[in-house]
Structure 1
Amino acid sequence: MLFNPKTNEKIAFTILRLSAALVVFFVIAILAYVLYNGLGALSIDFITEMPRSRMTEGGIYPAIVGTVYLIVISMAVALPVGILAAIYLNEYAKPGRTTWTIELAINNLAGTPSVVFGLFGLAMFVKYFGFGPAILSASLTLALLILPVIIRASQEALITVPKEYREASLALGVTKWQTIRKVVLPAAIPGMVTGAILSVGRVAGETAPILLTGAAYFLPRLPDSVFSQFMALPYHLFVLATAGTNISQTRPIQYGTALVLLLIVLGVNLLAVTIRNHYKKKIKR
């Protein structure tokens, strides 16, 4: 051993601090870059107006509405399904071939590229179920995309709940489901919300799945229903930056769109963090 234990500990903590500082530096650098370039384009008109002149002028209101639709619907589908699946796997399922198969499927889904989900959504929701290129097709596809993240985060949250909580509740004659609903879930909610936060960021930023299931290149109107085509901020940004009619002319709109997307994700995440902190305080009481 080259150093004594105290020296090794100092070296380890120094490396950890440098790693954390490096991560924070890159996050701040990216945010500062987008903020510096996009702040000039940000205005009330930019947020509330329809795009004009093949997206070289006007605002991004339809893309904002479409993105919010995707986040709300996909989370409304994936969150309850993911939490219920995690409850089954952690609280009810016994070790065996069936449980192993489900776990393997979740792991495979977590590592599947998003474009594959897009192709599946195109075949299943757009074609087979006949939803067509629409908000519903894209939202269900994104729900499948984030499902493994929610399941894993919920499982980890359930595992962290001490077994004594369950045993004490069951010893009082409470049923297993009542124990899970009244004792286990409230204690696990902070961890589950963390999975939801990660999922929101992925839903808001994915391009490939929505490109194949309903996102429109230029659609200067709001969707009439969940069966309508839509614009979305990530695809809007992708088009402006790679295939727009005048990429240099739309540069401010590109950065403005990126900034609005970051602000939406930040706003939803702050809401989720507030909910998580609320339940953490309740647990401590």
Structure 2
Amino acid sequence: MPDELLHLENIKKYFGLRGGVPWRQAQAVKAVDDVSFVVRKGETVGLVGESGSGKSTLARVATRLLDPTAGRVEIGGVDVTKVSGRKLRPVRRKVQMVFQDPQASLNPRQSVGTILTTPFRAQGIRPTKIQLVELLEQVGLSAEHLDRYPHEFSGGQRQRIGIARALSVQPELLVCDEPVSALDVSIQAQVLNLLADLRDELGLSYVLVAHDLAVVRQVASRIAVMYLGTIVEEGPAAEVYDHPAHPYTRALLSAVPVPEPGAVRDRIVLTGDVPTPISPPSGCPFRTRCYKAEDICSTKRLVLEAVAGSNEHKAACYLPEI
């Protein structure tokens, strides 16, 4: 489709794991297992799930920071699955990434001015000081910050610098890997509001990775829920929040605090641990923890199917909540 900025088709990403002893065969950690995913112009897609569900790995495959084991990655309608090295430079101008920990993603030995200049130089561009100042002003900082170093800023300010660096090459899509999880609650709201303002001002699209559904609700137009390397539910944000179809999504939403004194929410407590991605369960990967699981759930893994006649809202479940 002409308005698709990112199209992931049947993406798999396995990591090799050597056996602990010589006679034990090497195993594969199935971090992402057969995921298809689309982001269109103007969308903010929230990619949510527990830690270890494969969200960050999928984000890195989408930005070609990791090579997929199998599948197809299209950015701006161009297949970049096999592209590497210098040929990736035009791709980098369309898609940029904002990392989870700004303290780790910013070089402590470089000033802010040098950090912002690096993406320009990678594209063969020599930026002016005016351009660098404009980048800082877009994220709520000023010219006086150009000569400072990352350790001189708060966590929220460092994340703003990371966002400014991502904006330097004027991308169409930002992939944000838990951009507020390392920040105080009050600062989280400021950064999310900044992302929303930049979306409206610059016409950006986002993939917003998070483990907290309350965080992405503020800005997401569409939600994709991941569990054990697969997407188990996807749809418009309002439908997913108001009418969750997959038991896992319902359990996640039940854990979101209610911001009203005295309000009570029926809590769904999942039993057991998340299965190992080395050897996931047969059939539905969530069945070992699901409160609705039946024998049929172990037979075959379902693909995403329409829920209650909706073309946009889909879930991979034999017993969806309708």
TM range, normalised to the smaller chain?
Answer: under 0.3
Of Structure 1 and Structure 2, the greater strand share is in 2
User: Which structure dedicates a bigger proportion of its chain to helix?
Assistant: 1
**Higher RCO (C-alpha under 8 Å, 6+ residues apart):** 1
TM-score, normalised to structure 1's length?
0.24
